[in-house]
Amino acid sequence: MRVLVIGASGGIGAALVRVAEARGDAVVGLSRSGDGLDVTDEACVRAGLGALDGVFDVVIAATGGLDIAAQGPEKSLRALEPAAMAAQFALNAIGPAMVLKHAARLLPRDRRAVFAGLSARVGSIGDNRAGGWYSYRAAKAALNQIVRTGAVELARSHPLLACVVLHPGTVQTPLSANYLRRHPSVTADQAAENLWAVINGLSSRDTGRFFDWAGKEVPW
């Protein structure tokens, strides 16, 4: 299987690459720190993905951020700042949208394929009972809608594609280090194993859906 991981230098992205390579997949990993692929810059995404040849059975957008420019999740409406909100949307929603846009040509049209964006349970509107984390929640909810909408369009040209968003759970990475507290968490490698188990079980019947690390559907 041929795999493309965007965000391959991050905690989860690097683990996804390791697990795929260990099982014998041919993996291409791209990242901002390793390859200069800044998903918030469409020109970078266009150039980076445009340089790739052939098709990929699985494309994963494993980019994202929680604390951006030292701005953590807001606890109240009083803490909202336009610049911080825009930065969240740029990285967590617009970035993966550009990956999906430019990766579409790399997905096979005649056989099973998967595009997966890494979302978060806090991006679920239906599951929001705690409040707070306005910008991060909203950006992930936007990502969910982008992938859902992309799934509808791509089903016309890629009938065997599963285009989904996945919640990896609470993972022991630098992104979540300040927020683990009492939450059950797993290592990046375990999270990657869980995600691959879900990805391997997907089919075109699952396109446009939102799943957690155990393969359970998450409400929008």
**CATH annotation of 2-212:** 3.40.50.720
What's the pTM?
Answer: 0.94
Q: State how far the alpha carbon of 64 is from the alpha carbons of 32, 40, 125, 152, 196, in Å.
A: 11, 10, 19, 23, 19
**Residues 69, 87: contact at Cβ < 8 Å?**
yes
**Residues 35, 57: contact at Cβ < 8 Å?**
no
Mean pLDDT of the chain: 94
Extents of the domains making up the chain: 2-212
In the numeric block, the tokens 């995404």 are attached to 45
In this predicted structure, the answer to whether residue 148 has a pLDDT above a threshold of 80 is yes
Cα angle: 84, vertex 90, 96; to 5 degrees: 145
Condensed to tens digits (0 to 9), the pLDDT of residues 65-103 reads 888 877 889 999 999 999 999 999 999 999 999 999 999
Q: Rounded to the nearest 5°, which phi and psi values hold at 15?
A: -70, -40
Q: Are strands 113-118 and 58-61 parallel, antiparallel or unpaired?
A: parallel
